[in-house]
Amino acid sequence: MAFEGLSERLQSALAKLKGRGKVSEADVKSAMREVRLALLEADVNFKVVKNFVSRVSERAVGQEVLQSLTPGQQVIKVVNEELTKLMGGEQSRLQLNSKPAVILMVGLQGAGKTTTAGKLAHHLRKQHNKRPLLVAGDIYRPAAIRQLEVLGKQVDLPVFSLGDKESPVKIAEKGLAHAKENQHDVVIVDTAGRLHIDETMMDELRGIKEKVQPDEILLVVDAMTGQDAVNVAESFNREMDLTGVVLTKLDGDTRGGAALSVKAVTDCPVKFAGMGEKVDALEPFHPERMASRILG
């Protein structure tokens, strides 16, 4: 289960305050020390932790909290609200304005990009009545095109592919034209990932971006990789101006570092969470629900 360790530690840090009729500033301080350690251990970015703890402390030692009838509960409420804010506050939805709207999927190899492209197409059709076209633009990983075609079959949606001989920019451009001719309202372009960020990959992605003018550029990152995922998001955001992040593998036992840091570090909202390998295992990311889940 994701966040299990973090959840347990935060709950135990705050449990000491919970039923108390009186809470002192020292009690809050001591709880916050534990909260700080719990977050650091969950691999949350240290600057994020520092700011978070100081915001919570400032609010928690205020009159209206400590003088209230249920001070312990109020402190927990503050932690919940600040966790929610940390993850972006309101749910951040896709902005699909063009006709057809274009979603560019980017990310490193193995993050779950191709799988997420299929899941997202499925989600948009099921939940939003869209007619998505999947475009197979990852021509370097030998199995990626085939993988997308298999996914397309599974979710009963068409996949546009030109094999691996055309350039990804051409494929994206022709895919978009094909979508227009065939009345698709969303085009989801899968792109090539590499093991590491490099200039060739970014050049190619910029080329595609220029040609198809995406409504959304979604970075797919593996939540299991913690701070690495956040660093990857920072680099991609600098180069590509991301509109959102998809955190995959939140069904695994990820510690929480990526989910809690990525918005604060990059200012880029998490829009979806991958919760498994199946095509329906994609969920819109709800900061508030996530915070409540963590605090139990």
Tell me the binding residues for GTP: 107-114, 190-194, 248-251
What is the footprint of ligand GDP within residues 70-109 (CB under 6 A)?
107, 109
- Residue pointed to by tokens 């999947």: 134
Cβ proximity to ligand GDP, 7 vs 248, nearer residue: 248
Contact (CB, 8 A) for 241 and 128? no
**CB burial class (10 A; 0-12, 13-18, 19+) of residue 124?**
buried
For residue 157, the Cα-to-chain-centroid distance in whole angstroms is 24
Contact (CB, 8 A) for 189 and 220? no
Mark 108-147 with x for binding to ligand GDP (rule: CB under 6 A) and - for no binding: -xxxxxxx--------------------------------
What is the footprint of ligand GDP within residues 206-265 (CB under 6 A)?
220, 248-249, 251-252
Rule CB under 6 A: is residue 284 a binding residue for ligand GDP?
A: no
What is the closest distance, in whole angstroms, from the C-beta atom of residue 97 to ligand GDP in the complex?
26
Judged by CB under 6 A, the residue of 276, 279, 288, 295 near ligand GDP is: 276
Q: How far apart are CA 260 and CA 83, in angstroms?
A: 8
Q: How far apart are CA 111 and CA 217, in angstroms?
A: 15
User: Quick one: which segment of 52-60, 66-74, 84-92, 273-281 binds ligand GDP (CB under 6 A)?
Assistant: 273-281
Q: How far apart are CA 261 and CA 235, in angstroms?
A: 14
**Number of residue whose CB is nearest ligand GDP:** 274
Q: Give the phi and the psi of residue 18 in degrees, each rounded to 5.
A: -50, -65
- Which residues contact ligand GDP by CB under 6 A? 107, 109-115, 193, 220, 248-249, 251-252, 274-277, 281
